[in-house]
């Protein structure tokens, strides 16, 4: 029985934890940090959201910030005007699966369908191909990198936990300041309608982001899209 249990645990880890550790930390094809230049890529996952995404876009415009949005395909289809506005205002649209579902729960064929469907929604809305991908929760299975090969997979240097119910604007703003560095890729969320997230968390995120962007030290950085970050020279 113990041997069977150990074999089962090893099999589960081989599908979940081990590919995720490899994808996040060791895979050379996965972008995790930009060049050593005074540029930062703010990224926003799980949207678009009809309440918070417009407020976020207003804030980004106010501070002349360009960002990258990893959107859910089904939500993009529901709110195509928001996707068009994101692109029109100079931001970048990547995909985050068609549904917000972990790769740990998907077969290779199901994962491929998620990617194809999400990308097709973006193309149908904007006429352009989505080039970037971030797996939900940053979860990889053994086939994620293979199935995501048509895209550039992007992780992060910092994910400060903006989805948590007990997070405050001041605490989150301080986490953002600590994450501020040359080539940083920072992950935030413009929707709270995912498993484990506080529904109103994006309101806290917006206030924290405002505090962070108005901070004098933030003015020393350019806030750019992921693609722009990687076009920079180190």
The arithmetic mean of pLDDT across residues 102-124, rounded, is: 98
The arithmetic mean of pLDDT across residues 9-22, rounded, is: 85
Give the model confidence (pLDDT) of 56-101 as tens digits.
Answer: 999 999 999 999 999 999 999 999 999 999 999 999 999 999 999 9
The alpha carbon dihedral of 218, 179, 31, 101 has a sign of negative
Task: Please enumerate in sequence order all residues whose Cβ is within 8 A of that of 183, keeping only pairs 6 or more positions apart, or say none.
Answer: 33, 34, 35, 36, 37, 39, 40, 157, 229
Give the model confidence (pLDDT) of 25-62 as tens digits.
Answer: 999 999 999 999 999 999 999 999 999 999 999 999 99
Contact 213, 63 (CB under 8 A): yes
The number of CA neighbours under 13 Å toward the Cβ of 125 is: 26
Residues annotated as part of the active site = 45, 189
Give the model confidence (pLDDT) of 144-194 as tens digits.
Answer: 999 999 999 999 999 999 999 999 999 999 999 999 999 999 999 999 999
pLDDT of residue 234 exceeding 50, the answer is no
The reported pTM is 0.95
């Amino acid at each position: 029985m113990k041997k069977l249990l150990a074999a089962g645990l090893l099999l589960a880890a081989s599908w979940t934890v081990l590919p995720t550790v490899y994808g996040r930390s060791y895979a050379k094809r996965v972008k995790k940090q930009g060049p050593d230049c005074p540029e930062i890529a703010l990224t926003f996952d799980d949207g678009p959201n009809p309440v918070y995404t417009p407020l976020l876009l207003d804030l980004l415009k106010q501070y002349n910030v360009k960002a990258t949005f990893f959107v859910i395909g089904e939500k993009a289809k529901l709110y195509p005007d928001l996707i068009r506005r994101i692109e029109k205002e100079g931001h970048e649209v990547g995909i985050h699966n068609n549904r917000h579902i972990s790769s740990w729960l998907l077969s290779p064929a199901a994962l491929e369908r998620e990617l194809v469907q999400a990308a097709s929604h973006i193309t149908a809305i904007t006429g352009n191909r989505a080039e970037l991908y971030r797996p939900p929760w940053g979860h990889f299975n053994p086939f994620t990198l293979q199935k995501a090969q048509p895209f550039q997979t992007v992780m992060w240097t910092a994910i400060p936990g903006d989805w948590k119910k007990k997070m405050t604007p001041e605490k989150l703003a301080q986490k953002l300041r600590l994450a501020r560095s040359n080539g940083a890729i920072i992950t935030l969320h413009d929707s709270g309608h995912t498993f484990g997230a506080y529904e109103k968390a994006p309101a806290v995120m917006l206030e924290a982001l405002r505090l962070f962007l108005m901070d004098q030290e933030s003015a020393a950085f350019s806030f750019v899209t992921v693609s722009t970050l990687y076009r920079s020279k180190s």
